Amino acid sequence: MTLSVALLTVSDRRTLADDPSGDGLSERIRAAGHHLIDRQLVPDDRYRIRAVLSGWIADPTVQAVISSGGTGLTGRDGTPEAVAPLLDKVIDGFGELFRVLSFESIGTSSLQSRALAGVANGTVIFVLPGSLDAVTTAWDRLIRAQLDATTTPCNLVQLLPRLTESPSRPAGSAPSVGPRAQPPR
């Protein structure tokens, strides 16, 4: 199944012409058979990050978003803070597994990673560090398989149609009138 993926690089130093991590992700997204629907670069500014991501989250044609950069601990790094308020649900296992896999190559420095993933308005979002090694690890060892409908026993693709289900009542049940319900006026 081909997905429409948007890619965001967060950096004060890079440009789209000089973005090895973004280039690496672009190549991998296309090689996996997905459509790169948009690619942008913004500085480390949480409001500009949110503006771009909010547009993609609201766009029904964007099914997945991958961002790279701005996940460190310095004062300028704010991508997790920009993204977290936009998420409906956090996929905790992504950040946990990413740090375990990163430990294999960078040791205890992996504890500084604030990589995360989640879902917003039916869009799957991955927030990655900006290094080429980090995005390669994340794509090759986690994201590619989860964006592949043939991955078993389960994958994020099979959940896409259900990500916007209403949590208010179980499927097939009739709406109930609560004790505080007021008649319409």
Task: Dump pLDDT digits (tens) for 20-73.
Answer: 999 999 999 999 999 999 999 999 999 999 999 999 999 999 999 999 999 988
Domain that holds residue 83: 4-37+47-162
Split into its structural domains, the chain has a count of 1
* pLDDT value of position 83: 98
* 20 domain-assigned: yes
* pLDDT value of position 74: 87
Inform me whether the pLDDT recorded for 140 exceeds 70.
yes
* 13 domain-assigned: yes
* pLDDT value of position 34: 98
* 182 domain-assigned: no
Please enumerate in sequence order all residues whose Cβ is within 8 A of that of 104, keeping only pairs 6 or more positions apart, or say none.
none
* 90 domain-assigned: yes
CA 104 distance to own-chain centroid: 23
* 153 domain-assigned: yes
Determine the residue type at 136: T
8: three-class secondary structure by DSSP: strand
Query: What is 39-52 written as a DSSP string?
Result: EEEE-S-HHHHHHH
* pLDDT value of position 39: 98
* 64 domain-assigned: yes
Task: Dump pLDDT digits (tens) for 77-133.
Answer: 999 999 999 999 999 999 999 999 999 999 899 988 999 999 999 999 999 999 999
Could you tell me the strand order of the sheet in which 89-90 lies?
A: 35-42, 4-10, 64-68, 123-128, 116-120, 89-90
CA 58 distance to own-chain centroid: 14
Q: Which of 29, 13, 9, 32 is nearest to 21 (CA)?
A: 9
Query: pTM score, two decimals?
Result: 0.88
The CATH number given to whatever domain includes residue 53 is 3.40.980.10
Sign of CA dihedral 42, 48, 49, 54: negative
Burial class (CB in 10 A: 0-12, 13-18, 19+), 5: buried
What distances in angstroms separate CA 19 from CA 7, 22, 116, 140, 174, one per listed residue?
A: 12, 5, 21, 18, 52
* 176 domain-assigned: no
* 168 domain-assigned: no
